Amino acid sequence: MQIPEYDLAAVSVGAVHFGPGAFHRVHQANYFDDLLHHDPRWGICAVSLHSAAVREALNPQDCLYTTAILDAECAYRIIGALREVLVAPEDPAKVIARMVAPGTRVVTATVTEKGYCLGAGGALDFEHPEVRRDLQSPHAPATLIGYLVEALRQRRNASLEPFVVVSCDNMVDNGQRLRRAVIELARRSSVDLASWIDAQVAFPRTMVDSITPATNDALRERVARAISVKDRWPVQRENFVQWVIEQDERSDLSALQSAGVTFTDDVAAYDRAKLRLLNGAHSSLAYLGSVAGIETVSQAIQDVELSAFVRRLMTEDILPTVVAPRGLDLRQYIDTILRRFHNPEIRHPLAQIAWDGSQKLPFRLFGTIADSIAAGRPIDRLCIPVAAWMHFVRSRAQQSIRVIDPLAEQLYDIGRACSNSPASDVPRFLALETVFPEELRGARRFVVALSRAYDRLGAASDVRGVLR
């Protein structure tokens, strides 16, 4: 077991992170923990925008927790990088004060796609109730965007250098999407502030990767046996971990390079490879496996027909839409992904990957489909996992179960109205303009291929018959 060898009392906060869920604590916090072994200025203040659960679990153990690295060889590591957990609604001023503190050099975020409060076109949704609250009460914001604007306003007024803003969420062009939202909100109150943010604040694009199943009681028991200490909220991941950050002359995050972070001027290529090949395959397994009655990724990829389908999907349909970043062999990357899926030590529930499908599919599959249509390539196989998502929603709704999704109520109503007929069901889903882009909704090739895939899945007694 690896424990912090640095002096916890000497650690100062240099990073504020919004969204201290499992992924942050098993990913970015591990990088900062490595950095703390030779630079004590990089402790983390974690901020929860809603729940006090992480604070209540970790405060009694001095914010220490265990990362279980589960792979061919398993290892356990105590992380000391998290030095403070704040619950934003309880004391917004304290959160902002931490962001404005001179020692804070970076603000990171893992709040999921829905935490950015963006509309269908990618702009900030000013009709979102929490965004409206930010406009009415800027000193006590409700959103990540609101906190960033207010903290940057106060830093500017105090003549302090701005912090770097690093989105670590799985969104295409994540840094620029966050930058646009922050500037849009700032402009509503001050054009000068918006211009200063535009010119002075770095919002680098990033790509993050490591398979991270949710914490459960089985993990807590495993960790307790391994380290002989009860940990209220350990986290787990595979051995593979990656963090790629865009180089930006306005940011000074070079210290993270010593902790293993990759800096590049081509994050978009890394991002597309990961979103389309890894995340696209993950979502395909999630919906097809769920329809087939399979529970976990490793079980799904061990299914001969599912495994063969996903490999064909990646190599024949997705790969032609991806340009390799320098130094990355995409066929080796595919092999690595499939080996990671096979890891029996990671029990990654397909149900967890299936969450928030309306937000994930546009990034993970729809872009690939649109590019394939434009290039005149086949899209039939790509439409099968999309149709599987629709059947997943339909079957849950008809069992009176709401899927976990920002559009849960709309999807529930659609699913309840479905009759397992593509003629009536597919148009109901395609009417979701915030999910399906106009270029796909208006593409006859897509509608026909999706309807055919939906019909085949609906008529099949076993999903594997559709995959052959």
As a whole number, the mean pLDDT across the chain is 95
Nearest to 463 by CA among 359, 372, 392, 370: 392
Residues 6+ apart with CB under 8 A from 48: 19, 20, 54, 55, 85, 86, 87, 88
Residue 17: beta bridge partners? 46, 108
Amino acid (one-letter) located at 452: R
Q: Tens digit of pLDDT for each residue in 66-117?
A: 999 999 889 999 999 999 999 999 999 999 999 999 999 999 999 998 899 9
Hey, what domains does the chain have and what are their CATH numbers? Answer: 8-265 (3.40.50.720), 268-467 (1.10.1040.10)
Tokens read off for 98: 């931490």
Nearest to 139 by CA among 123, 125, 157, 164: 157
Alpha-carbon distance of 94 to 235, in angstroms, equals 27
Q: Tens digit of pLDDT for each residue in 311-347?
A: 999 999 999 999 998 888 999 999 999 999 999 898 8
pLDDT above 70 coverage of the chain, percent: 100
Nearest to 79 by CA among 168, 5, 167: 5
